[in-house]
Structure 1
Amino acid sequence: MKMSFTLGAAPHRLMFLAGTLQALLAMGFWMSVMGVRAGLWPATAWPLFAALPPAWWHAEVMLAGVLGFFICGFILTAGPRWQGQGDLPPTRYLPAFGLLAGGALGVWLALVLPWLLAPSLFLASSGLAVVAITLAGVARQPAAGHEHIACASLALTLGAAGLALLATFALNILDAGAARLGIGLLLWGFVLPIFLVVTHRMLPFFTGSALTGYVARRPSWALRLLLIASLGHGALDGLGLIFWRGGVDLSAALTALYLSWCWWDARVPGQRMLLVLHGAFAWVGLAFLLFASESAASTLRPGLFGLAPLHALTLGYCSAMLVGMASRVVLGHSGRPIVAEGTMWWAFWLMQVTALLRVASDLLAAPLLPWLASGCWLVAFGGWVWHYAPLLWQPRRDGRPG
């Protein structure tokens, strides 16, 4: 009873715990799929994959079912504080959690009962919509600025729309184009914009909190350009205009590299926690440079880069930033010192190895490397979960609520 009360005491507790379970299950499952593709063992005939490509299922589970929980947990915990408000009461986030959890469970059951996929996706879509509405209400409250919280609310709305499109495809109402658009919205309209908003809001703040005399700069034009570039990339990609996407990708790369330079301080390497966050963000510039190179080569060598740019973004940036940001939230909201101890430090570096392996697997066309990358990700995140997950159901060490 005490554990259940503690888990419901703050949005990040339940959401992060669900996200960790989803992550371990999803990557373990995907590692088995990668093993089949590498010829290590025979395939399992999952009924759902007769109608839905495994890669689409993987994309939905990782973007909405894993990162979606962490995003909602973080933004529902931090968002009200950005606006100078108190913590949200459980009635403002437990219904959303119930919808998201029900949807996530249904997507897993759909592997053997495909008819469950559409209602499960609609459930998850409703969960994101509830969080978006909650944040919109928070954004209306008086505060110094509304841009970050408003952008987060809009991104959650686009994520809900993406899941709804996937659900209509599962019902055979719309064709495969709608499913691809839905997955595109989940990445380019939901996950990446939220990560960029959180990074723009928190990375300068965290750096300034740790380094005396550091001047935190958050150029609004840079965030707006990156958000427009994310949406533009997704739209042009969905239309198949890969070559014309190059200008968007290059502008995003240069903007991200500028922010990396703008936020850097020579003292960052002396602070492990800061180095993790800055190192993760550096992948954004690199990933968009790869996307721009892919666009330039698309007319002569289409598909030359494979999924290398995508995994540079999702593994190099999103997974590594997840380790850093989630660690800060779990430590800070459990009344513990915010320091990058050994588990978090090694999890970050193993995520870097994972990203390099997955990028190399596409550039070198090495079929065994995706399986190795999946295993490396599991070891990295599994170690993180072993150390940090218990803090989610333990009361705060300082006796404060939350």
Structure 2
Amino acid sequence: MLRTLFSIGFRPFFLAAGWFGAAWVLLWVSFLLKGSPSLGSLHPILWHGHEMLYGLAAAVIAGFLLTASQNWTGLTSTTPASLGALFAVWTLARLGFLFPDWIPLWLTSVADLAFFPLLALIVARVLWRARNRNNYLLVPLLLAFAALNLAIHLDFHGLLPGIGMPALHLTVYLVTGLLVFMGGRVIPYFTERRLPELRVRRWPAVDWATLLATFAILPGYLWLGRDPVLAPLLLAAAVLNLVRLVAWRPWGTAGVPLLWILHVSYFWIPVGFLLQGLHLLGAPVPWSIGIHALMVGALGGLILGMMSRVSLGHTGRPLEPPR
């Protein structure tokens, strides 16, 4: 049974992400209402954001990339032993953040900080062996996650107080950039294959402009922070992502759940950027609303859609989820 569970990347990481996403949100609500569980010396908001990104999102990213890299290259990305070891590192970090009074923070940090470099090494190895240059960009993206995670841990340990929250927001934009990058590949592709009569459109100029505007938010936020000067870039990214989505004709997917969940989720990306842009321009919109539109709306919805599709497709089941 364990050999089957660790036979391919999506099995352990998608299963764990499903349970983790539900359980940790309940834990967060319990903390807000009753002050339990104990978070030890950890900053509550930083703990919550870190675990949603470096716990939940990281597991889904790992499950997706380890599985997709096999499809892209025709090579096996992991063995049951190497996949089990990577999963053990992720699990140890989650237990450390769940029981900070029992597990030393240094041990939690060692496990958590090892995860993305190890994942990058595995993905880089299989892409390099296959000379799959189209996806080389994923490796520096994974290393960027590792660098931002290091900044958050330096805050947790009191070595660089205050750096954790900006690093967390940069991680949100990095995750969103990854959604825009991968979404632009898979959403129109899946839509074309299932509904060729829709005549999905792809405009290369709009695609490139959308990617550039989305990823430009990272250095923009790093340099400016929450400055009104950043608002035009956020609004431009919102408009470009919306135009891109309209070209995919989302209204025609209403009868296909595995498609419309992807389109509806992607719609939250322009909504999130719009809300943040309005906040910076002085509108009565909390900054966190934009963060949650991107992470709960876009990331959460795409997680559900992609986990369902990948799990059905890679276990030989028809792509027709039961009602």
Do the two structures share a fold, i.e. TM-score over 0.5? yes
Per-residue CA deviations over 1:12-32 (Å, capped at 9, x if unaligned) read 111112212321221110121
Q: Is 1:279 aligned to residue 264 of structure 2?
A: yes
Corresponding letter in the other structure for 1:60: H
Structure 2, unmatched stretches of 5+, are none
Aligned residue among 89, 97, 111 for 2:78: 89
- One of 168, 180, 195 as aligned partner of 2:179: 195
- Point out which structure has higher relative CO (alpha carbons under 8 A, 6+ apart): 1
- Correspondence for 2:161: 175
Q: Distance in 1 between matches of 2:133 and 2:239?
A: 26
Q: What is the aligned partner in structure 2 of residue 74 from structure 1?
A: 64
Relative to 1, partners in 2 of residues 1:241 and 1:62: Cα closer, same or farther, differing over 3 Å?
Answer: closer
For the 8 Å contact 1:155–1:193, the answer to whether it is kept is: no
| 3-state SS, counterpart of residue 104 of structure 2 | helix
269 and 44 in structure 1: CA distance in 2 versus 1, 3 angstrom threshold: closer
Q: Which deviations, in whole Å up to 9, do the C-alpha atoms of 1:141-198 show, x marking residues without a partner?
A: 556x734x2333222111111221122222322222x212331343222x22222222
Other structure's SS at 1:106 match: helix
Supply the distance in 1 between the matched residues of 2:188 and 2:157 (Cα, whole angstroms).
45
2:88 maps to what in 1? 98
Alignment of 1:17-28 (within 5 A): 17-28=15-26
- Equivalent AA in structure 2 for residue 318 of structure 1: L
1:309 aligned to 2:309? no
Does the 8 Å CA contact 1:19/1:69 hold for their aligned counterparts?
yes
**How far apart in 1 are the matches of 2:145 and 2:213?**
17
Aligned to 1:13: 11
> For residues 186 and 122 of structure 1, what CA distance do their matches in structure 2 show?
19
Q: Do the aligned partners of residues 255 and 172 (structure 1) sit closer, same or farther apart at CA in structure 2, a change above 3 Å counting?
A: same
- CA deviations on 1:48-103 (whole Å, 9 max, x unpaired) are 2xx43211100011111111101100111012313x42332315533322222221
Work out whether residues 77 and 123 of structure 2, in 8 Å CA contact, stay in contact via their aligned partners in 1. Answer: no
1:63 pairs with 2:65: no
Decide whether aligned partners of structure 1 residues 317 and 288 sit closer, same or farther in structure 2, where only a CA change above 3 A counts: same
Q: Secondary structure at the match of 2:318?
A: coil
Q: Distance in 2 between matches of 1:45 and 1:4?
A: 31
2:62 and 2:119 in contact (8 A); partners too: yes
Matched, 1:244 2:229: yes
Rounded to whole Å, the distance in 2 between the matches of 1:227 and 1:94 is: 34
- Quote how far apart the aligned CAs of 1:209 are: 1.5
**Equivalent pair of 1:122/1:163 in contact (CA under 8 Å):** no
Q: Distance in 2 between matches of 1:288 and 1:210?
A: 30
1:309-347 per-residue CA deviation (whole Å, 9 max, x = no partner) reads 1111111111111111110011111211111332xxxxx
Deviations 1:218-272 (A, max 9, x none): 5555555444444443444454342011121012111111111111165322222
Percent identity of equivalent pairs: 23
The residue that corresponds to 2:110 in the other structure is: 122
Measured in 1, the distance between the counterparts of 2:114 and 2:201 equals 36
* Letter of the 2:149 counterpart: L
1:388: which partner in 2? none
For 2:86 and 2:213, locate their aligned partners in 1 and report how far apart those are by CA, in whole Å: 29
- Alpha-carbon distance change, 28 to 88 in structure 1, aligned in 2, over 3 angstroms: same
Write the distance in 2 (CA, Å) between the matches of 1:216 and 1:138. Answer: 32
CA distance in 2, matches of 1:170, 1:197: 31
**Aligned partners of 1:337 and 1:317: how far apart in 2?**
25
- Distance in 2 (alpha carbons) for counterparts of 1:73 and 1:198: 14
Where structure 1 has 5 or more consecutive residues not aligned to the other structure, the ranges are 37-41, 343-402
Query: Once the 2 structures are TM-superposed, how far is the Cα of residue 296 of structure 1 from its aligned partner?
Result: 1.6
Work out the CA distance in 2 between the residues paired with 1:43 and 1:131: 34
TM-score (norm 2): 0.89
